[in-house]
Amino acid sequence: MTRQISRRTILGAGGGTALAGSARTAGATTGDHRGGDDDPTGRSLAELQRLLARGRLSSRDLTRAYLRRIERIDAGGPRLASVIEVNPDAERIARELDRERRRGHVRGPLHGIPVLVKDNIDTDDAMLTTAGSLALVDSRPGADATVVARMREAGMVLLGKTNLSEWANFRGDQSSGGWSARGGQTKNPYVLPRNPSGSSSGSAAAVSAFLAPVTLGTETDGSIVSPAQACGVVGIKPTVGLTSRAGVVPISRTQDTVGPLGRTVADAAAVLGVLAGPDPRDEATADSEGRTHEDYTRFLRPDGLAGARIGVPRQLGVDSPEATAVFEESLAALRAAGAVLVDPVDIPSYEEFSTSSAEFEVLLWEFKAGIADYLATRTAGSPRTLADLIELNLERAEEELRWFGQETFELAQAKTGLDDPEYARTLATSRRISRTEGLDAVLDEHDLDALVAPTGGPAWVTDLVNGDNFLGGTSSYAAMAGYPLVTVPSGAVFGLPLGLTFMGRAWSEPTLLRLAGGFEAQTRARSAPRYRSSVTGDGRHR
């Protein structure tokens, strides 16, 4: 069945109950946040590492500080609803890691560092993994996701799970970014009635609000970079195959990827090295052999833009004059930092890309097959097929289907298997549009290091009845191609953050991080959230 689908539906968000709590300002928890030794939650990863190494801070005290802040900011105060569940074993894990450190065993630079993980990433512990859906609350994963196992091995403390757009925004039309039946509606920490975007809504909002130093999200098309922009943080969407998807609730075998979010490029890059590398549980990662790095922070330097050739594909805009104005300011900052801009560059396949439904059709095929494979890994009591999920949603319609339906589930259920020749033809079309006649073509033609585009428009008002008023995004080419993106704060309009996206070839994370880090050093555009109840009258400002 062919269906034209708007990019908003794939990119935008997630689900819909009423906003939790009032939209009041959060008193003592507002404003720029930089904790002292007695409240370290505002510090960067590098600062936390130094404090831990010098014995001035313990992992247990750090973990406790974040748990207190989650209680104050997420459950109380502005009630962000970004954390769907805290780990009851977090303090115990932190104490054990402190004992290891005292005995001289330090696992690496992230030893003792807390992290929050999106609730579609399996954890084999006391917490649930549900993708925000009530359909999965009665079963559990059989093992940690590979990325979770690697973080544990690196000595990171699993602090809890973050809320998300239910089923990573692949259930139905008129969804609201950051809503799930299990977690309710996540708020935007900058202006509470505004949407955090999705689907990694809670991961972006939580790290922005200093509820963890770093978080994990997942992306199929825009689900890391869009909420990262809306919540004023850095998001890394890796090349498909750089990080394992084993133990992650799937949408697409050819587009899904797991990546970190942080308040700085360095913080996010530090986590990427822990996640990256081949995994026998995920055949797509075989291509990453010899292409990963244990330390991605080594590619960062303040003059990272000097001499870089960066293309400006004006075709990839957003429907927001404010965002466009900030983008022009960002281009000026790139030039000032020594980048050579090739402006404009044209992507050969753009006309076909703009009208093609190939991406969405591929996702429907792959979701039906992938979700059955994933559900088979869960314990007894789990639904086993997409048809089971559809039926369970109907049985709990008052809770699950109150705000929007499951049209996407139903379209996927109508698909045949991945052995259908039409699937192979459609995937080939998507790859041709996005790769050989898309990003590869324009990057090669102009000998470019990367492309830049506005990440999206300003955050919209959350509307559970009508769904998201999404003004567009620029992630779809890289999503279809399986190529990397890095978004970094670029400015703000009326108190709402905006971001600049760097996109490039497969496995070009070192280059993109160098460029994004250079832009960050040039602009210092991020400001801390203030949990306002309405937009400001400040207009455009960096």
Q: Single out the residue of 380, 354, 533, 540 nearest to residue 434, CA to CA.
A: 354
HSE (side-chain half, CA atoms, 13 Å) at 33: 26
The answer to whether the CB of 247 falls within 8 A of the CB of 127 is: no
Q: Respond yes or no on whether the N-terminal peptide bond of residue 344 is cis (omega within 30° of 0).
A: yes
Q: Is 223 in the active site?
A: yes
Q: Is 118 a catalytic residue?
A: yes
**CA distances (Å), origin 426, targets 50, 162, 362, 500:** 51, 34, 7, 30
Out of 201, 223, 320, 490, pick the active-site residue: 223
Q: Which of 235, 261, 241, 237 is nearest to 253 (CA)?
A: 241
Q: Measuring CA to CA, how many Å separate 17 from each of 155, 181, 230, 469?
A: 36, 7, 20, 17
Listing DSSP states for 153-185 in one string gives HTT-EEEEEE--SHHHH-S-SS-BTTEETTTEE
DSSP H helices in 6-110? 7-11, 45-53, 59-69, 90-102
In 329-392 the beta strands, taken as DSSP E runs, fall at 340-342
SS3 category, 279? strand
- Are 370 and 250 in contact, with CB atoms under 8 Å apart? yes
Residue entry with tokens 């999503």: 479
DSSP 131: T
Taking the CA atoms of residue 278, residue 271, residue 225 and residue 493 in that order, the dihedral angle to the nearest 10 degrees is -170
Annotation says 187 is catalytic: no
Q: Which residue has the tokens 């998201």?
A: 468
Q: Which amino acid is at 225?
A: V
Bond before 139 cis per omega within 30 degrees: no
Gap between the Cα atoms of 122 and 143, Å rounded: 7
Tally of helices (H runs) and strands (E runs) in the chain: 19, 14
Sign of the four-CA dihedral 208, 210, 211, 217: positive
Task: Check: CB of residue 70 under 8 Å from CB of residue 149.
Answer: no
Query: Which of the residues 165, 180, 197, 199 is marked catalytic?
Result: 199
Preceding amide of 278 cis, omega within 30: no
Q: Do 10 and 255 touch, CB atoms closer than 8 A? A: no
Q: How far is 225 from 392, CA to CA, in rounded Å?
A: 31
**Which of 59, 118, 288, 330 is the catalytic position?**
118
Nearest to 256 by CA among 277, 285, 234: 285
| Residue entry with tokens 């709590």 | 21
Q: Write the DSSP symbol of residue 28.
A: G
Active site residues: 118, 199, 223
